Amino acid sequence: GTPDFACVSLQALLNSTIVNVLGVATQPDRPAARGQKLSASPIKKLAHSSSLPIFQPKGLASVTIVAGNKLQTKAPSVKPFVKFLNDTKPDIGIVVAYGVIIPKALLEFFPLGLVN
């Protein structure tokens, strides 16, 4: 996710004794305020303070799935995220206000699905 209210869900997952949060994907930093300086999303700040891996992929539509349930992409900013997912093989994905349409390949990648 990206906005403030998504932090409530992430914090609940971090506090859970039955969930192991592997990492966080959030929108790329955006210009904000008067000086239009790049600003991290609230989710990125929370993930950073929790020492979680943070991914800011731009171009998720480029993600495809191949035999063996492996993700692939040609988009440079998405490659670290795809590698992380292929390496960690998470059971489930959780999305809260991400702000981008999730491609079919990601919807099908998680064995237990992607929960919004």
| Sequential pLDDT tens for the chain (116 residues) | 778 999 999 999 999 999 999 999 998 888 877 778 888 989 999 999 999 999 999 989 999 999 888 999 999 999 999 999 999 999 999 999 888 889 999 999 999 999 99
pLDDT the model gives residue 51? 97
User: What is the pLDDT at residue 94?
Assistant: 95
Burial zone of 76 (CB within 10 Å; 0-12 exposed, 13-18 middle, 19+ buried): exposed
- The count of C-alpha atoms lying within 13 angstroms of the C-alpha of 9, restricted to the half-sphere facing its C-beta, is 16
Question: In the chain, which ranges are E strands?
Answer: 24-25, 30-32, 37-39, 54-55, 64-66, 70-72, 93-94, 114-115
Provide the 3-class DSSP secondary structure of residue 23.
coil
The predicted structure's pLDDT at residue 87: 97
Cα separation, 33 vs 72, in Å, equals 36
